[in-house]
Chain A
């Protein structure tokens, strides 16, 4: 019989044969004179070939040099249950567990059991460091770092979604197990291409919020597998994760800030009214128009200025002073903008972590925070997801975007089960009587999902708006 040959080629698999073959999934590519399938269909094609006893030569994979994994990961019962359902589902699918449910451990156990070359996708560099550290301590292997300024490919490699997206074709045939941490990211139009060009037959998604407002999570069966295990915060609270208290502090703007805010906000409202626009739809329309219509752009700028006053109010800085004075417990301060993070850093002489912080320095700050040498750090959006910052018992949100996911995940960091019995506190500092109050409410409301910030390809350089 006609032998079929499978070769990897730029995120796809070329299917070559000496004579005509009849196979599912494949498409004839006259540009190169061979059949082709996208990488993610590798598993299905191989299954078909095996099922029908069609002989084939497979030279798709060229994994990095093998390294021995010496695992000793032990799991809680619910984590075992989650891993079992994944194994039963044919080593594919999404495990949805509330923040601080130990998702990392489930992933590590899967690597230990399968012994396959593995690529782990993470949204941030901080999370990349976190995984590398866990792979080292629990699997006894030095993982490759593929993100930020480094490009190491090893038997186990941890990459940011961004770097993997840019180099997807290069990574596509090196790993047989793909673990997507904070897996809701993989459904973004750009990042889903990583899942499409990877040939990895085994895929695991880890997330606490598998659903997206843009409904792209419906792509899961094709890209990574369905949700095969779910445990909400309520399922786990008290048992595996600590509980927390949530507190809001309302502050009023100072009179001159109030006047500024009022001036800008009413300028924006005026434009909306003149144009007969309203609400979120109205805002979108203004954004659309702003590229052509100078007045729309002016209105948009007014809105930004008003919000900036509300978010970055001097009154909030005073509240922050009070909070820092009243307790020296381990605290993370969250801001929306880098500029506020740096302002707080200068004013209170505390370290800031933003996406501009050099890799080395970021690691140093976090290790000093872990050891307790630094008690307080300030960050803008960088620590938002799944980072293990042990026993931080207090979080202070100084401004937010009003996204549900962000809210859940910020909580997640504080909910780590700590050594002591101290209850974690989350403090939101909100301006009274501004639209930010509305945002803050929106943040708690469950279904109001928006695409996470990582999905956007933020451009550096000149500030927008």
Chain B
């Protein structure tokens, strides 16, 4: 993050974008120049080094870029005042002495005061004068230069900082990401922000703003939103869109995408799989060994639950079938009750909850009995894989069985069964017709599910009539919002 004065933007047609420096352009050479100045300036005063940096302004003609880069370099350096006399006591003694014998108004009077105090302290007059304000930032000396790293990297860090600085004025951001969810949501919560989440065609989408945002547009949360950004871009592929305030009332749109803009930003190191507990780690290893046909993904994606989301510990996936696993191994009955209630409110994905036997209590049983869609298994010490496989079979089996019995009996199908049919049809449409395609082809796909084109909205598609001819009509995937 940089001071606002260093922000450079381009505005075009309602869109705003920071004037990014290209890592493979001349900015990298400039970055190298600045790094070099700091590397060869050990022992010099900050103000001196800065004035050398400012000389580059003329050559590169872009003072905001020069100063922004230099600001980032300074943060990687160590500065320190090393005065002969503690500056605060130098000031106290000099000013007290001057006040005692009358303020010196001639150079001679001034020298006499300084000499007197210097001899009291046993230092030379010039080192006393040097010490006087040695604790001011601009007087500090560089004692440790920046570490070795390429100018290109500095330019990328600069671009990230620039983006954050732009977000200082944002009123909200909407993003999709593909991982790192727990850290993303943790930081949203940490900065007192509020989110709304939903499934969009491009993945799981989250809108973030703050408590006051429902009353009016406010920049109040801009700085916090900027602080969440580094977490979002750790979960590539990602996409980000922000409303940025300009003046009072007017907003501009800012978008950033890992595919088209990722090369401008620092590569984020892949976050290693983190386990909250030994129980979780052992479960993942054992399950992978026993049931390799299932992909085990840690904190893979959030599931909408109530007004918020939950991020289950694991998502097991086989042939497009997803089942979440949450391991509950600690805390109080009250915590457990709330946790299970929240899990029970999860929509659109079955969840297997593994509960430590020691925590088993009537509350769990009660919630369980009210929410038959939850699959609760108990464990002692470690989660037993056969128990999980059994639960998985139940989950997958139940759904298929449900559908079959209903079809066989010719009875009106249950809501969940109908939903499952629509989901399967939607999947088939996506595979065979794509985001948009001829209506007739979509109708063929639907026929296989005993559905007509009237079911298109339920499958997330709409019809676009180009003429009155059926042959010319298209279907289009609706963008969720």
Contact = CB atoms under 8 A, between A and B. Distances in A.
A368 B92 CA distance: 10
Interface string A369-392: 000011110000000000000000
A324 B95 CA distance: 15
B91 interface: yes
B67 A462 contact: yes
A151 to B, nearest CB: 17
Given A36-B211, A346-B132, A459 B4 contact: yes
Given A346-B132, A462-B50, A376 B214 contact: no
Interface stretch (B26-34, B96-104, B471-479): B96-104
B429 to A, nearest CB: 30
Given A350-B95, A457-B4, A464-B5, A361 B67 contact: no
Contacts of A464: 5
B91 A351 contact: yes
A1 to B, nearest CB: 26
Interface in A156-179: 169
Question: Main SS of chain B's interface residues?
Answer: helix
Given A33-B306, A459-B5, A464-B5, A324 B136 contact: no
A258 B162 CA distance: 42
Interface in B36-85: 50, 54, 61, 63-64, 67, 70-71, 74
A348 interface: yes
A440 interface: no
B196 interface: yes
A375 B99 contact: yes
Nearest to B91: A351
A324 B74 CA distance: 41
B379 interface: no
Interface string B1-44: 00111001000000000000000000000000000000000000
B335 interface: no
A373 B96 contact: yes
Nearest to A369: B99
B192 A169 contact: yes
B103 A193 contact: no
A31 B192 contact: no
Interface residues of A, number: 48
A193 B91 contact: no
B95 A349 contact: yes
A322 B103 CA distance: 11
Interface residues of B, number: 49
A239 interface: no
A334 interface: no
B215 interface: yes
Nearest to B210: A10
A11 B211 contact: yes
Contacts of B469: none
Interface in A273-307: 291, 294, 297
A30 B99 CA distance: 66
Given A349-B104, A364-B92, A31 B71 contact: no
Given A342-B133, A348-B98, A462-B71, A29 B103 contact: no
A31 B307 CA distance: 6
25 contacts: A10-B211, A27-B214, A31-B194, A31-B214, A31-B307, A169-B192, A193-B218, A193-B220, A196-B212, A197-B212, A328-B102, A342-B133, A345-B133, A347-B110, A348-B105, A350-B95, A350-B99, A350-B103, A351-B91, A358-B88, A374-B99, A375-B99, A459-B4, A462-B54, A462-B70
Interface of B: 3-5, 8, 50, 54, 61, 63-64, 67, 70-71, 74, 88, 91-92, 94-99, 102-106, 110, 113-114, 129, 132-133, 136-137, 192, 194-196, 210-212, 214-215, 218, 220, 248, 306-307
Given A349-B98, A462-B67, 17 more contacts: A9-B211, A10-B194, A11-B212, A31-B196, A38-B215, A169-B192, A196-B212, A294-B61, A321-B106, A346-B133, A349-B103, A349-B104, A350-B95, A364-B92, A376-B103, A462-B54, A462-B71
Interface of A: 9-12, 27, 29-33, 36, 38, 169, 189, 193, 196-197, 291, 294, 297, 321-322, 324-325, 328, 342, 345-351, 356, 358, 361, 364, 368, 373-376, 457, 459-462, 464
Closest 3 CB pairs of A and B: A459-B3, A349-B98, A10-B211
